[in-house]
Amino acid sequence: MLIASRSRSAIDKLKNDLSSEFEKNDLGEAKKMLGMEIERDRKSDKICLTQKGYLKKVLQKFKINGDTKSVSTPLGTSIQGKSYYVSYYC
């Protein structure tokens, strides 16, 4: 289960509530989920989702060299500028 919230205390409360009902393992902060890498820059309040590993495999499969350029894909305005904590829990 991936839990995301603007409040670290809300995540901790949910984890405590779940652990009182279910056996659980806390895997800490999420680094990768469904093939996407999760990168955080807390100083600049940014989160980045990438598929670098998958893209490298695709480029190798089709013998495309590393001279390609990457581009940023902006999120919708309803998500931008908001800080979220993301935790992986199973």
Give the residues across from 47 on adjacent strands: 40
Q: In this structure, is residue 35 part of a structural domain?
A: yes
- Residue at 37 is within a domain: yes
Pairwise CA distance, residues 90 & 68, whole Å: 37
Within-domain flag for 77: no
Give one word for 81, left, alpha or beta, with left for phi > 0 and alpha for psi -120 to 50. left
List, as one string, the DSSP characters of 42-60. Answer: TTTTEEEEE-HHHHHHHHH
Averages of pLDDT over each 10 residues, the chain, 90 residues = 86 92 87 86 82 84 76 63 53
Q: pTM for the complete prediction?
A: 0.54
pLDDT at 33: 85
Structural domain count, the chain: 1
**Residue 17: per-residue pLDDT:** 93
**Domain residues for 59?**
2-64
pLDDT at 14: 92
Q: Is residue 18 part of a domain?
A: yes
